[in-house]
């Protein structure tokens, strides 16, 4: 019997490792490994070196285990949390889900801006003559309710002057356009305010981000008030000159659109900042190199140029809102000329008809903001200036010194901005030449927000907040990482000594 057991042991010792390995070990061998860092590579090398030694445990193996534990220690704990252990303090970094939520909210705002343009182009914005923030979330539920809403609309200037032959079925179409726009606004408000309260109460955001979220929430509520303030301007007869076309005030329309764009930009930049911070902290060494490249004096002019270009694009958007509010796109539907010349006559551009003071002291600014001919000319000049500025920026970014200093994502951002401005110019010309068709006009408004998005993203890639830089430096010089680096140097030294021996 003893001889038989001895034979089994010798046979088992001669079998290959895979034949006697357990199931979990085989499963672990089949899972592809993630890319290892420099420290983890050293740890694996030490473990492999130790496994080939005759002793089951060695100083190299224990040192490798210490390095792996140090490398896996959490680098983002706050000093207050480490000292007191309390969960009530705000963290140093925002939760990653906050970044995704902010970007999703910005996408929703992008959609409502486009839908708002469709509401204006279909003359649907004045179909609801009352503002009911709570009860207005539901449409009319009975024939009597529909008739009541229709009677209110028939008392408005728009029905009397533009739609005196409209029936109830046609009214329902424009009513649902405006109702959907207002319901979307309510959804944006609730889907932002409620998570804001949760994230702040659960301490998932930094104090700075908490202030940003509260500010955006207030801006959303203010935007709802501005929307009704704008609609109200189109429901009063005293705001229209005799024989004029019923429309909302171009000033209030511009403020409404500008507030939407600011809210969108605030959400987008905040969300992108959160996601970039998490991406940088995953690899502090690579992040430090990227931040050092962005601090190059060579990029200073490019950074300032992108900031100035963003302001220029926003100004052009505001002039486009004046064009939309005055229906100025329905005149001079040719390009590049306006009538017989490249600009209308001076007497038409600066007409005393728009003055409200007898001395004519408001001649210039009244015509610039209320004269459709001059408003369209101003928008043309700003649009062509924006196009030229983007082309010059692209050419400047391709010069040898700037091109060599630009990171890859910045280079792609400049190229994307050029594509966006070319698309926007094409949409603008099509909208003008075809006398403002609904599809092209809505696409042109979406293109304006897309162009502003390209400029914001490019500027975001060129700038890194100081708070993010401080977090990267802190992660790079954290005690856990410094301990791991020290251990890795000892490990290399011991491996070299053992190999030489």
Between the two ends of the chain, the Cα-to-Cα distance in Å is 46
Alpha carbon distance 229, 236 (integer Å): 12
- 3-state SS, residue 261: helix
363-382 per-position pLDDT tens digit: 999 999 999 999 999 999 99
Mean of per-residue pLDDT scores for the chain? 83
One domain for residues 292 and 241: no
CA-CA distance, 63 to 29, in Å (whole number)?
A: 24
What is the full DSSP assignment across 173-232?
Answer: HHHHHHHHHHHHHHHHHHHHHHHHHHHHHTT-S-HHHHHHHHHHHHHHHHHHHHHHHHHH
pLDDT at 153: 93
Confidence check: pLDDT of 498 > 90: no
For the record, the structure tokens of 144 come out as 């009597």
Separation of alpha carbons 335 and 428, rounded Å = 11
pLDDT at residue 410 is higher than 90:
yes
Would you give the DSSP letter of residue 89?
S
The percent of residues above 90 in pLDDT, for the chain, comes to: 61
Which whole-number Å values give the CA distances from 354 to 102, 242, 360, 371, in the listed order? 44, 14, 9, 7
Does residue 52 have a pLDDT over 90?
no
Of the three residues 250, 282, 314, the one that is the final residue of a domain is: 282
Q: Are residues 202 and 295 in the same domain?
A: no
CA distances from 467 to 57, 206, 457, 474 (A): 45, 11, 19, 10
Q: Tokens 């740890």 appear where?
A: 43
Q: What is the pLDDT of residue 478?
A: 65
Indicate whether 15 belongs to any domain: no
In a domain, 350, yes or no: yes
Residue 10 lies in a domain: no
Which of 31-40, 83-92, 304-313 has the highest mean predicted lDDT (pLDDT)? 304-313
Query: Within this chain, do residues 223 and 347 fall inside the same structural domain, yes or no?
Result: no
pLDDT tier for residue 247 given thresholds of 50, 70 and 90: confident
Q: With the CA atoms of 487, 493, 499 and 500 taken in that order, what torsion angle do they form, in degrees rounded to the nearest 10?
A: -160
Domain boundary pick from 254, 282, 310: 282
Q: How confident is the model at residue 24 (pLDDT cuts 50, 70, 90)?
A: very low
190-225 pLDDT, tens digit per residue, is 999 999 999 999 999 999 999 999 999 999 999 999
Q: Does one domain contain both 289 and 165? A: no
Q: How confident is the model at residue 44 (pLDDT cuts 50, 70, 90)?
A: low
Burial 321-354 (b: 16+ CB within 10 A, else e): bbbbbbebbebbeeeeebeeeebbeeebbbbeeb
- Quote the CA–CA distance of 362 and 354 in Å, as a whole number: 9
Question: Can you give the pLDDT at residue 469?
Answer: 85
Is pLDDT at 244 greater than 90 in this prediction? no
What pLDDT is stored for residue 31 in this prediction? 41
Q: 338 - beta bridge partners?
A: 341
**Is residue 258 located within the same domain as residue 360?**
no
Q: What is residue 481's three-state secondary structure?
A: helix
Q: pLDDT value at position 308? A: 97
- Determine the pLDDT at residue 75: 45
Tokens at 165, concatenated: 């032959």
Point out which residues pair with 341 in neighbouring strands: 338
Mean pLDDT in residue range 158-169: 90
Show Cβ contacts of residue 250 under 8 Å, excluding neighbours closer than 6 positions.
Answer: 321, 322, 324, 325, 326, 369, 370
CA distances from 392 to 100, 396, 452 (A): 34, 6, 17
State the pLDDT at residue 493.
Answer: 61
pLDDT of residue 76: 45
Q: Span 275-292, mean pLDDT?
A: 90
Say what the pLDDT of residue 84 is: 43
Q: What is the pLDDT of residue 78?
A: 42
Q: What angle do CA 305, 376, 384 make, to 5 degrees?
A: 30
In a domain, residue 39? The reply is no
CA distances from 202 to 80, 270, 322 (A): 16, 19, 44
- Is 363 within a domain? yes
For residue 241, pLDDT over 50 is answered with yes
270 and 288 assigned to the same domain: no
Confidence check: pLDDT of 152 > 50: yes
pLDDT tens, position by position, 92-133: 899 999 999 999 999 999 999 999 999 999 999 999 999 888
In Å, how far from its chain's centre is CA 284? 24
The phi, psi pair for 341, rounded to 5°, reads -140, -175
Q: Same structural domain for residues 273 and 334?
A: no
Q: What are phi and psi of 273, to 5 degrees?
A: -65, -40
Sorting pLDDT into bands at 50, 70 and 90, what band is 234? confident
> Poorest-confidence range of 394-398, 443-447, 475-479?
475-479
Name the H helices within 283-329: 284-294, 300-326
Is 364 within a domain? yes
Q: Is residue 417 part of a domain?
A: yes
d(CA 257, CA 75): 43
Model confidence at 18, pLDDT cuts 50, 70, 90, reads: very low
Taking alpha carbons only, the member of 71, 87, 96 closest to residue 475 is 71
If one counts the domains in the chain, the total is: 2
Both 435 and 318 in a single domain?
yes
Per-residue model confidence (pLDDT) at position 327: 92
Q: Do 314 and 202 share a domain, yes or no?
A: no
Domain that includes residue 122, residue range:
95-282
Residues 439 and 290 in one domain: yes
Question: What is the rounded average pLDDT of the residues 270-299?
Answer: 91
With cut-offs at 50, 70 and 90, classify the pLDDT of residue 62.
low
Evaluate if pTM is beyond 0.75: yes
Quote the pLDDT of residue 480: 55
Please check whether residue 486 is in contact with residue 71, taking contact to mean a CB–CB distance below 8 angstroms.
no
Cβ neighbours of residue 63 closer than 8 Å, sequence gap 6 or more:
46, 487, 490, 491, 494
Considering the domain boundaries, does residue 65 fall inside one?
A: no
Q: What is the mean pLDDT of residues 394-415?
A: 93
What the block records as the tokens of 258 is 């500008």
Express each pLDDT in 420-446 by its tens digit.
999 999 999 999 999 999 999 999 999
Q: What is the pLDDT of residue 465?
A: 86
Do 315 and 252 lie in a common domain? no
Average confidence (pLDDT) over 337-352 = 92
Place of tokens 């343009």: 117
185, 190, 264: which is closest to 225 by C-alpha?
185
Residues 311 and 330 in one domain: yes
Contact 190, 251 (CB under 8 A): no
- Is residue 388's pLDDT more than 90? yes
Q: Which of 248, 282, 316 is the last residue of a domain?
A: 282
């Amino acid at each position: 019997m003893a001889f038989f057991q001895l034979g089994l042991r010798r046979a088992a010792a001669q079998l290959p490792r895979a034949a006697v390995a357990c199931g979990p070990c085989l499963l672990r061998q089949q899972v592809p490994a993630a890319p290892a860092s420099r420290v983890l590579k050293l740890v694996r090398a030490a473990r492999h070196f130790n496994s080939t030694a005759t002793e089951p445990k060695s100083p190299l193996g224990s040192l490798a285990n210490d390095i792996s534990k140090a490398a896996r220690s959490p680098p983002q704990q706050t000093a207050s949390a480490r000292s007191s252990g309390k969960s009530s303090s705000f963290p140093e970094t925002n939760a990653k889900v906050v970044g995704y939520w902010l970007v999703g909210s910005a996408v929703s705002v992008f959609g409502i801006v486009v839908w708002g343009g469709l509401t204006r182009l279909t003359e649907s914005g004045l179909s609801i003559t009352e503002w009911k923030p709570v009860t207005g979330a539901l449409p009319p539920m009975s024939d009597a309710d529909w008739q009541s809403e229709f009677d209110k609309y028939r008392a408005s200037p728009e029905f009397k002057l533009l739609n005196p032959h409209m029936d109830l079925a046609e009214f329902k179409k424009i009513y649902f356009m405006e109702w959907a726009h207002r319901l979307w606004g309510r959804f944006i408000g609730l889907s932002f305010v409620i998570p804001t309260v949760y994230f702040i109460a659960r301490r998932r955001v930094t104090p700075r981000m908490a202030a940003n979220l509260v500010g955006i929430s207030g801006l959303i509520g203010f935007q709802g008030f501005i929307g009704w303030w704008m609609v109200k301007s189109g429901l009063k007869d005293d705001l229209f000159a005799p024989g004029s076309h019923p429309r909302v005030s171009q000033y209030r329309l511009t403020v409404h659109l500008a507030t939407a764009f600011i809210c969108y930009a605030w959400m987008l930049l905040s969300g992108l900042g959160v996601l970039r911070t998490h991406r940088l902290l995953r690899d502090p060494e690579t992040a430090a190199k990227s931040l050092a490249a962005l601090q190059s004096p060579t990029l200073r002019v490019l950074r300032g140029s992108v900031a100035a270009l963003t302001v220029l694009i926003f100004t052009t958007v505001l002039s486009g809102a004046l064009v939309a509010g005055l229906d100025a796109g329905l005149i001079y539907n040719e390009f590049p000329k306006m009538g017989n010349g490249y600009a209308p006559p001076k007497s038409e551009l600066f007409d005393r008809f728009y003055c409200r003071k007898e001395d004519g002291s408001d001649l210039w600014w009244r015509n610039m903001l209320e004269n459709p001919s001059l408003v369209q000319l101003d928008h043309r000049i700003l649009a062509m200036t924006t196009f030229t500025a983007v082309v010059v920026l692209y050419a400047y970014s391709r010069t040898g010194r700037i091109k060599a200093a630009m990171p890859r994502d910045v280079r792609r951002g400049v190229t994307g901005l050029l594509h966006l401005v070319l698309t926007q110019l094409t949409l603008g010309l099509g909208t003008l030449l075809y006398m403002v068709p609904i599809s092209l006009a809505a696409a042109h408004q979406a293109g304006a927000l897309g162009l502003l998005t390209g400029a914001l993203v490019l500027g975001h890639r060129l700038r890194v907040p100081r708070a993010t830089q401080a977090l990267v430096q802190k992660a790079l010089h954290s005690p856990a990482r410094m301990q791991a680096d020290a251990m890795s140097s000892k490990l290399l030294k011991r491996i070299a000594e053992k190999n030489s021996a």
